[in-house]
Amino acid sequence: MSIQHPIISVVGSSGAGTSTVKHTFDGIFRREGYVAASIEGDAFHRFNRADMKAEMANRKAAGDATFSHFSVEANLLSELEGAMRTYGETGKCKARTYVHDEREAELHGVQPGHFTDWREVGEGSDLLFYEGLHGAVKADGIDIAKHADLKIGVVPVINLEWIQKIHRDRAHRGYSTEAVTDTILRRMHAYVHVITPQFTNTDINFQRVPVVDTSNPFIARWIPTAGESLVVIRFRNPRGIDFPYLTAMIHDSWMSRANSIVIPADKLDLAMQLILTPLITRLVERGRRAK
C-alpha cells in the first residue's frame, strides 16, 4: 500500500448496485475537494465484445462451459495489478475505457464493444478509485488486494443478484430467461473460485438482503425494492468504528454481530457517507502530508 498515493478499490458484480456506490464516492470526493483518478474493471478485459464471443464459442466447443468475464484468464489481471502498483509508486498509471453503447461511442470515438487506446491517468490526483469485479483478487501469483489501501465489497445475496441480472438482461439486452440462465450457469465456477473469495479480503462489505420471497429467482416478476431490503455492513477490523454513533444516526439500524451493523437499504447512501468519509479523509490527508 502507498502512503503518498492511496488507492480505493470497490469490488462488486454489475447487479450489486456499484453504480450507486460510485455516485456516493463521487459525492464524497466532490464535497471534500479530493481529485480522484478512476479506472474501471471492464477496461482490463482481455477481449473486445466480438472476440469474447468467439473465445467462449471456441472454449465451449472444446468442452469448457465455465469461461466468462468473471474468469481470471478473461482479464488482464497482471496489467491491473501493475497499474495499481505504478499508481501507488508514482501517482500515475496506464488505463483505457471499454465502450459499452452508442452514447459512449460518441464520447470516445470508438465503436461499442471496443476499447479506447491506453492512456496515462492520475496526474495531479489525490487518490485512485477502482470499480469492477477483480479489485481484491489473490490468485495465480497475482495479488491485487495488497495494493489497495481501502477495499470495499458490494454484493447482493445470490438469489437477488440473479433476479437483478435476469431483469436487466431481458429488459435492456433482449435476452430470454433461458439465455440469462445459461450465462449464470457458465459464470458459477469463476463466481465461486474468483469473485466470492475477494470478499474475505475486503475491509468493509455492504451486502443487500431482501426481506421478501426470492426463493425462485427465475420466475420473480419484480426486483425487490430498497424498502423491501436490508443491508448488512461487515467490518473486517471493527476497531475504531463508532457503532453507537452509527446506530444513532441511521434510523432503524442495529448491530447483529460485534463487527456488523444492519440498516434499511434505503439508508445505504447515508451509511456510506458516515462510514467512508472519515476513512477517505484519513487516507488523502496522510498522502498529502507525505508528498
* Contact indicator for 118, 82 with CB cutoff of 8 Å: no
**Numbers of helices and strands, H then E, in the chain:** 9, 12
User: CA nearest 15: which of 155, 140, 141?
Assistant: 155
In this prediction the pTM is 0.93
What pLDDT does residue 174 have?
79
* Contact indicator for 57, 181 with CB cutoff of 8 Å: no
Instruction: Give the span between the Cα atoms of 150 and 203, in whole angstroms.
Output: 6
Crossing angle between the packed helical segments 158-173 and 177-190, to the nearest 10 degrees: 130
The sign one gets for the Cα dihedral 103, 106, 112, 115 is negative
Render pLDDT for 118-129 as a digit per residue (tens, 0 to 9). 999 999 999 999
* Contact indicator for 286, 6 with CB cutoff of 8 Å: yes
DSSP state, 116?
Answer: P
> How many Cα atoms sit within 13 Å of 10 on the Cβ side?
27
What pLDDT does residue 139 have?
85
Crossing angle between the packed helical segments 268-290 and 18-32, to the nearest 10 degrees: 50
Q: What is the full per-residue pLDDT of the chain (291 aa) written as tens digits?
A: 668 999 999 998 655 555 678 899 999 999 999 999 999 999 999 999 999 999 999 999 999 999 999 999 999 999 999 999 999 999 999 999 999 999 999 999 999 999 999 999 999 999 999 999 999 999 889 999 999 999 999 999 999 999 999 988 887 777 888 889 999 999 999 999 999 999 999 999 999 999 999 999 999 989 999 999 999 999 999 999 999 999 999 999 999 999 999 999 999 999 999 999 999 999 999 999 987
Query: Exposed, middle or buried: residue 255 (CB in 10 Å: 0-12, 13-18, 19+)?
Result: middle
Average pLDDT, the chain: 93
Instruction: Give the span between the Cα atoms of 124 and 163, in whole angstroms.
Output: 41
User: CA nearest 7: which of 152, 196, 119, 206?
Assistant: 152
What pLDDT does residue 44 have?
98
What pLDDT does residue 54 have?
97
What pLDDT does residue 222 have?
92
Q: Please give the backbone phi and psi of residue 210, each rounded to the nearest 5 degrees, phi first.
A: -75, 150
Three-state DSSP at 69 gives coil
Query: Exposed, middle or buried: residue 251 (CB in 10 Å: 0-12, 13-18, 19+)?
Result: exposed
What pLDDT does residue 170 have?
85
What pLDDT does residue 13 have?
63
> How many Cα atoms sit within 13 Å of 13 on the Cβ side?
28
What pLDDT does residue 15 have?
52
Query: Exposed, middle or buried: residue 135 (CB in 10 Å: 0-12, 13-18, 19+)?
Result: buried
What pLDDT does residue 19 have?
62
Cell of 270: 447515508
What pLDDT does residue 1 have?
61
